[in-house]
Structure 1
Amino acid sequence: MTQFDPLPRPSGSSLILVVDDEPKNIQVVGTLLLKQGHEVIAAGSGEEALAKLRSVKPHLLLLDVMMPGMTGFDLCRKLRAQPEWQDIPVIFLSAVTDKSFVLEALAAGAVDYVTKPFHGAELLSRVQLHLNLQTARRRLASTIEERNRLLEVVAHDLKNPLGAVRFAAAMLKEHSDTMPRTQAALVGSIGESTERALEIVGSLLQTRQLDETKAQMGLTTLCLREYAEEAVKNFTPHGNRKGITLRLECHAEHVPVIADRRSLLCSLENLISNAVKFSPHDSAVQVHVLEKDTRGIFQIDDEGPGVDDEEKDLLFRKFTRLSARPTGGEISTGLGLHIVHELVDAMSGSVHYERGPRGGACFVVKLPLA
């Protein structure tokens, strides 16, 4: 091993786990890391590495490929499968230069691959690079989490004053027939704008709580027909205001699916709300509930403009706004379909879009039958 070139010392000491079945290799690599100011722990096999990981979490792993028993690839895959370990950067150290090994290492979840014999300065540079990237990722995640918490607090705190404005606007509207036309129009505008603001706030809070909702899901046997009937009933008044008829068709008395109560109702209501928003006045929204093979199916189609072919890939992304616009001046946050996709996916189901039989949009949700 040649003498490594001097490098600037790291900004902070990091704990690095070196896994190799050759003690001499561990000694060489460990000496380099210690001189660079890092702390080092060693393991002579994949099994020993897993045992040490259960008591300590290193900042980075240097991992040999060819070891008896559990290979480096096997160990790396196990790390990526465990939430508490999957963010630890893994750099492979191997004498094998075959490109297929490099590709397999990256596919297993490694961030880098260094071949032996290696130059000391190069290895230390790569170690420091990935430690810096890990620090940057964690800082970014912390910043995003802080921003999300701030967004949640602001959105939550806005609900009360907006609710007060909505109540005041409703009270004024009761006497709008005695007001000059201009003032009556302003009162109506205040009420409509407040409703839109409250819908945006509600969508933001719903999105913020999405991960928590998915983590706390309680999957059980539910009747898809009953939840579809409840969702249709809840949105019938919204449809009536635009002359839109909501029709539900289901030939089975009971369609048992495996789902979460709150998530199922939320998903169906979002789809119905979406259909009412984009349907023309005096039209019909049709809901079908049925069983097919091993799936319970909820299908909803409308007589609106549908989705352009070039926009289909954008449908379920967060905050996506397509060219179609609500037909009654409703607000569209671009969050509803994203929420549906995430919740249905968490319930082991699927949701997709297709052109409806009447030319409008058609969304199909499939959930596993009980």
Structure 2
Amino acid sequence: MNETNLTKGNILIVDDTPDNLRLLSTMLVEQGYEVRSVINGAMAIMGAKAEPPDLILLDINMPKMNGYEVCQHLKADNQTQEIPIIFISALEDVFDKLQAFSVGGVDYITKPFQVEEVLARIETHLTICRLQKQLKEQNKQLKNEIDQRTKAEEKFACIFRTSPNPIAIVGLEKGEILEANPSFLKLSGFTEQEVIGHTANEIWIGKDKEAIATAIQQLPQTGIIYNREFELRTKTGELKIVLFSLELIELSGQLCALLIANDITERKRLENEFISLVSHELRTPLTSLMGSLDLLESGQLGQLSNSGIKVLNIAINNTERLIRLINNILDLERMKSGKITIDKHYCNSADLMQQATETLQVMADQSQIQIITQPVDIEIVADSDRLLQTFTNLLNNAIKFSEPMTQILFSTEIINKQILFVIKDQGRGIPADKTEIIFERFQQVDASDSRTKGGTGLGLAICRQIIEQHNGKIWVESTLGKGSSFFILLPL
């Protein structure tokens, strides 16, 4: 369509009277239309097919082929059937007008015509035609989008049904399970009727069932959750250790959680057996090795050269790191299995913060880092040793990953009958995709940290176990290049 603005277009005039052609052509050209003129029906059909116009003005009484026949030919051809045709004729009989509409005309103008009437009719039908084309194009686009979505849904449904991973879809509004694949039903031990329409709290048995429901409800705020470990029991009471991944999706206009599970029960059993065996078998020779290295360092077996002392220090540092690693592994496993009990008693929060700061003060001074402690003097019920272990671990990390001449703020405040401890540094920060997984075992921001910083990858996992056994919560907020803030929230 060649248009100069929204109401102009290409018009084909068909009339065997030259005066009528000149009058209409001049009138329309002056109004900004592009006009073509032909004097008979055959030429009209050929011209319309060669270059389809936006609208046709068609006379009725013409030799050889009248206007009705021309219109029928054009409407029978797929290439020209959508072109609006306005009849212009001196015939005034109602029958003539009805026949014009019956063969496909959109309007009928009687000669002699008024210029304003012709222009108004043309503009109206061009606008209608244009809107119809836009609507058809929008419908076509909508159909393509529906087809693509349908294909995607069919593909998802196929993957959902056949996946070996247990998958469920949970509605966020009520927390009810909307869909569950066969693998999920097999894992839980329930039938589809027992699962669909019920919440996680209703079907799962175990200490972590409320934690799963909470994680689902908080998904809009927390975003994607990857491989969060939960302990659950099936319908038959069988204990399962499961990794859950949660992602926010929209299904038929409803916000849902896509829950993908991974049963790691057997892997955890083998892992725990291996860790226990290796840890215990390694402790005795390492303790003996450490004693031998200490004996060498004391000089009782003779003096070493400077190079020898340097090598000896490397050996001592690496042996101490191995011992720390083994002790951390055993501690973590004992905590998770409940073999280490939390000895809660009244203790002072300010005293614990001060002790932790004093313990790390020498390390902070050596690193040229200032620790600013802002305690609240309040009695809390906690295992003071374990809480002190958590504070020193977090402060130790803050010092290791901070630059010289920076500060670490160790503060606390009371919030709704809970006490919040905050350790805020000005270090390198933690990427957003790792703020959750750093609390898992053997997870570090940078793999080289275990070599350069001497870490074991277990410190934060132990901290989380300690805080969770206090019915508390630990998390981190961080900005790359600006620092991290670790939060510990405990009930008073």
For Structure 1 versus Structure 2, the TM-score category normalised by the shorter chain is 0.5 to 0.7
Tell whether the 8 Å contact from 2:364 to 2:371 is kept in structure 1 after alignment: yes
The answer to whether 1:361 aligns with 2:454 is no
For residues 141 and 314 of structure 1, what CA distance do their matches in structure 2 show? 18
The answer to whether 1:334 aligns with 2:457 is yes
The answer to whether 1:262 aligns with 2:385 is yes
The answer to whether 1:147 aligns with 2:270 is no
Q: Secondary structure at the match of 1:289?
A: strand
The answer to whether 1:103 aligns with 2:103 is no
Q: Secondary structure at the match of 1:362?
A: strand
Task: Choose the corresponding residue for 2:287, options 155, 160, 166.
Answer: 160
Displacement of 1:347: 0.8
Higher relative strand content: 2
1:368–1:169: structure 2 CA closer, same or farther, 3 Å change rule? farther
Q: Give the letter for the 1:259 counterpart.
A: A
Tell whether the 8 Å contact from 2:438 to 2:460 is kept in structure 1 after alignment: yes
Q: Secondary structure at the match of 2:442?
A: coil
Deviations 1:105-162 (A, max 9, x none): 7954489xxxxxxxxxxxxxxxxxx99999x998766544432431331243244124
Displacement of 1:102: 4.4
1:358–1:161: structure 2 CA closer, same or farther, 3 Å change rule? same
CA RMSD of aligned residues (A): 4.0
2:427 alignment partner in structure 1: 304
Tell whether the 8 Å contact from 1:259 to 1:367 is kept in structure 2 after alignment: no
1:339–1:203: structure 2 CA closer, same or farther, 3 Å change rule? same
Tell whether the 8 Å contact from 2:335 to 2:341 is kept in structure 1 after alignment: no
Displacement of 1:310: 2.2
Matches within 5 A, 1:196-207: 196-207=321-332
Taking structure 1 as the reference length, the TM-score comes to 0.57
For residues 346 and 131 of structure 1, what CA distance do their matches in structure 2 show? 23
Deviations 1:5-48 (A, max 9, x none): xxxxxxxxxxxxxxxxxxxxxxxxxxxxxxxxxxxxxxxxxxxx
For residues 321 and 273 of structure 1, what CA distance do their matches in structure 2 show? 15
Q: Can you give the 5+ residue segments of structure 1 that lack an aligned partner in the other structure?
A: 1-87, 93-98, 112-129
Displacement of 1:298: 1.4
The answer to whether 1:351 aligns with 2:474 is yes
1:79 alignment partner in structure 2: none
Matches within 5 A, 1:120-269: 143-168=270-295, 170-171=297-298, 179=305, 181-212=306-337, 216-250=341-375, 252=376, 254-269=377-392
Tell whether the 8 Å contact from 2:450 to 2:457 is kept in structure 1 after alignment: no
2:130 alignment partner in structure 1: none
Tell whether the 8 Å contact from 2:290 to 2:316 is kept in structure 1 after alignment: no
Q: Tell which has more relative contact order, 1 or 2 (C-alpha 8 A, sep 6+).
A: 1
Task: Choose the corresponding residue for 1:272, options 386, 395, 404.
Answer: 395
For residues 487 and 194 of structure 2, what CA distance do their matches in structure 1 show? 43
Taking structure 2 as the reference length, the TM-score comes to 0.44
Displacement of 1:338: 1.1
Q: Give the letter for the 2:443 counterpart.
A: T
% identity of equivalent residues: 18
For residues 340 and 308 of structure 2, what CA distance do their matches in structure 1 show? 49
1:209–1:237: structure 2 CA closer, same or farther, 3 Å change rule? farther
Q: Give the letter for the 2:287 counterpart.
A: N
1:27 alignment partner in structure 2: none
Q: Choose 1 or 2 for highest CA Rg.
A: 2
Displacement of 1:333: 1.4
Q: Secondary structure at the match of 1:232?
A: helix
1:360–1:295: structure 2 CA closer, same or farther, 3 Å change rule? same
1:208–1:110: structure 2 CA closer, same or farther, 3 Å change rule? closer
Q: Secondary structure at the match of 1:299?
A: strand
1:172–1:222: structure 2 CA closer, same or farther, 3 Å change rule? same
Tell whether the 8 Å contact from 2:276 to 2:330 is kept in structure 1 after alignment: no
1:202–1:243: structure 2 CA closer, same or farther, 3 Å change rule? farther
Displacement of 1:89: 7.7
Tell whether the 8 Å contact from 2:475 to 2:488 is kept in structure 1 after alignment: yes
1:322 alignment partner in structure 2: 445
The answer to whether 1:292 aligns with 2:434 is no
Q: Can you give the 5+ residue segments of structure 2 that lack an aligned partner in the other structure?
A: 1-186, 206-235, 241-262
Deviations 1:166-193 (A, max 9, x none): 41354259x98x83x4334323322332
For residues 356 and 331 of structure 2, what CA distance do their matches in structure 1 show? 17
Q: Give the letter for the 1:243 counterpart.
A: Q
1:331–1:321: structure 2 CA closer, same or farther, 3 Å change rule? same
Displacement of 1:286: 2.2
Tell whether the 8 Å contact from 1:255 to 1:296 is kept in structure 2 after alignment: no
For residues 248 and 357 of structure 1, what CA distance do their matches in structure 2 show? 24
Matches within 5 A, 1:15-94: none
